[in-house]
Structure formats: C-alpha cells, structure tokens
Structure 1
Amino acid sequence: MPRAAFFTKETITAAGLEIVRAGGEDSLTARALSKALHCSSSPIFTVYEGMDKIKEDVRNAARALFSEYVSDVMDYYPAFKELGIRIVRFAKQEPNIFRMLFLGLDSSYTAEISKVDLCLDGIEEEYGLTEAQTRLLFRQIWPLACGLAVINAQNPEVYPEAEISEILSTEFTSMMHFLKSGQQVINITPRLRSSADEQKL
C-alpha cells in the first residue's frame, strides 16, 4: 500500500519558492525542502516524482508572482514606462526570484510577458507610431530596463528609483524624437582612426 502524502503540491511549491527567495535557484534542493517542511524526503517524493518537476512548478509560481506584480500596469500612463519601472523595482525587492526568471534557466520568460504586447499596442495608438517604429522603440528601451533591473538585483543602492525613472524617460524621449524625425539608423562600425576616415553622425 503506498505511503500517504502529508503535503500537497501547493505546499511544497510554496516552500520551494521561499527557498529560492532566500538563497537563489541553486539552493532549491531535496535537502533544503526537507528542512523547510520539517520532514524526510519521502513524503515530498510521494507527491512529486523528482526535483525537476518541483523546480518547474516553483518557476511557474515565480511567474505567477511576477504576473501579479505587474497586473495593473495598464491602469498607468504611459503603461510601458510603468512596466519598466516595475521590473526594476521587482528586481530590487525580489532579487533571487528575478534572477531565476530573467537570468536563469527560464530567462526566455522575458519574451512571454503578456503585458509587453498590451503596452506596445497602447504606445502605437497613443503616439501615432507604425508597428515597425513601435518594435524599434521596444528594442531600444526594453534591454535598458532589464539592464537596470540586473544592476538593482545585484546592488539596489546604485540607482535610486527617481534616477531610474529619469533614465527611462530620457531614452523614451530621445527615441520618440528620432522616430518622429524620419531618420534612419546609422550602423557605426568602429575602425582605426589611422586606417580610414572617421565615420560621423
């Protein structure tokens, strides 16, 4: 007769998320789970077949946590900037969960954030941009926001939130001026000054 399970998947996943929150994704082990749940590994693996599935469910729980964190960004104007600020703020408040979602095995999660497309649709409509212009705007600002988030996950004292807001506003305003000007991007390739004329804007 199989041993009765003492824990649900939800209980184990919640404990796993707390372990990641405190020590990072690498700290999520069977031993750490057993310690957190005050049991041997047997009851845990009565519910789960192995650690891979537990880690998958913990990542899903982390996704749900972040989704809830940005769930109301469309209530703000401009929503795209609010989303950028939220990502940086989340990295500051939940550095280990941020690293798991955006820098770890699940780093492809960045492209799956549903609020991005909603924000981009709003920008396209509100600023009269084409879809191509909106995607170019996203391509320039999104890596900047994520880069600021990475810095804040490592050292939250480097950029205060007011400065982050100013940096994002400067980039957004600069890109809007560029897009509205009708100019094309000039791909500047670094070359030795002695070998060719300098390439200038």
Structure 2
Amino acid sequence: MARRKTITREHILNAAHEVVSTEGFSGFTARNIASKMKSSTQPIYLEFKNMDELREAFFEEVETYLRDDIFSKSISGDPIIDLTLNYVDFAKKEKMLFRALFVEDHADGKLLNEFGFQMFLAKAKGIEEYEGMSDEAIHTAFLANWITATGLASLATSERMNATNEEMIQIVKLVNKSLKRNPDFTITM
C-alpha cells in the first residue's frame, strides 16, 4: 500500500510564504522551505517540477492575498486613496514581506508592477476623474500614486515617519491635484 501524502501543496506554499516573510527572497530555497516544514526537499519536488514552478505558484498566491485581503479594504471611500492606505498598512504589518516583494530586486518584480497597475485600473474604473483619460495619463497617474505610496510605506517601515491616515490622504490628494493641473506631465518607467 502506498504511503499517504502528508505534505500538501498548501503546506509548501505556506512554508514559502513564511520563508519570504522572514528572510526575503534570498531565503527562497528548497532547503529553507523544507526546513520550515520539518521535512526533506522531496515533497517540494513531488508537488512542483522545479523551484521556478514553486515561485510562480507562490506569486499567484501572493497576488490573490494582496487583491482579496489587503487591497480590498475600504477606508476613505476613495478606491485610489485606499490603495495607498492599504499598501502602507501592509508594509507596516508585514515589513519583511513588503520589502521582499516591493523593494528587493527579483525576477518577478515586473509581474508585481503589472499586478499593481491592473489593481489601479480596476479601482479607477467608474471614477469620473479617470474616465476619458488617455492610456498614458492613466499610467502616469498610477506611477505617481505608486511612487507616493512606496515612499510613505518605506518611511513607515523604517519608522522614520508615522503619518496618520488623514495626513496620507492629504498627500495623495495633493499628488492627484497636481497631476490634474499638469495634464501634459508624464512619467515613464
């Protein structure tokens, strides 16, 4: 009779999440993930072809977590401002995971950039000020908000600044007001 599988895909992904949340991507190795599960690396390679496939599954889980649990919270009533507030809150609560995902240089950084842009687009739909904007203007609005959010989040995680939600709302409003006054301004990355 075959032995029953005791370490599941979910166990492996949870261990990967724990490793990245404590060590960053430098710790994203089969050995470290197996160590978190108190097992050999064999269950990882039984479930995933290789570490690239595990990394891909991990990022799918992260995107679902960010979309459903982090960025879905309504705080101010303005979905774009809420993205910033939720991003900063995530950075404060999960400092190492935030740094691993959004600060460290890693192969999936561009995927996270695209994920952030798609989140912004989804939130901007139905907001009057974004209707009729060119693709370039919407992309600039995203980048301006993302740069602002990342700055606030980085300052919050390093405890160099502890802005209140009201202060952050005013900062984001100021950035967006400036964009409206300067419609020809563009940011490219």
What TM-score does the superposition give when structure 1 sets the normalisation length? 0.72
Equivalent residue for 2:113? 110
Q: Structure 1: which 5+ runs fail to align?
A: 186-201
Say if 1:122 and 1:146 are closer, same or farther in 2 by CA, change over 3 A. farther
Partner of 2:125, secondary structure, is helix
CA deviation after TM superposition for structure 1 residue 135, in Å: 4.8
Contact 2:71–2:83 at 8 Å: present in 1 too?
A: yes
Q: Distance in 2 between matches of 1:141 and 1:46?
A: 42
| Code of the aligned partner of 1:144 | T
Equivalent residue for 1:9? 9
Does 2:167 correspond to 1:169?
no
Does 2:124 correspond to 1:120?
yes
Equivalent residue for 1:150? 154
Does 2:54 correspond to 1:51?
no
Contact 1:9–1:47 at 8 Å: present in 2 too?
A: yes
Q: Distance in 1 between matches of 2:53 and 2:175?
A: 45
Contact 1:5–1:47 at 8 Å: present in 2 too?
A: no
Contact 2:80–2:124 at 8 Å: present in 1 too?
A: yes
Larger Rg: 1
Q: Distance in 1 between matches of 2:96 and 2:56?
A: 16
The size of the alignment, in residue pairs, is: 179
Say if 1:49 and 1:3 are closer, same or farther in 2 by CA, change over 3 A. farther
Does 2:141 correspond to 1:140?
no
Equivalent residue for 1:189? none
CA deviation after TM superposition for structure 1 residue 61, in Å: 1.7
Identity over aligned pairs, percent: 23
Contact 1:59–1:100 at 8 Å: present in 2 too?
A: no
| Code of the aligned partner of 2:71 | V
1:135-168 CA distance string (max 9 Å, x none): 5443433211122223334x1x112141x64255
What TM-score does the superposition give when structure 2 sets the normalisation length? 0.76
1:101-123 CA distance string (max 9 Å, x none): 32333222133234311332344
Equivalence map 1:74-85=2 (5 Å): 76-85=76-85
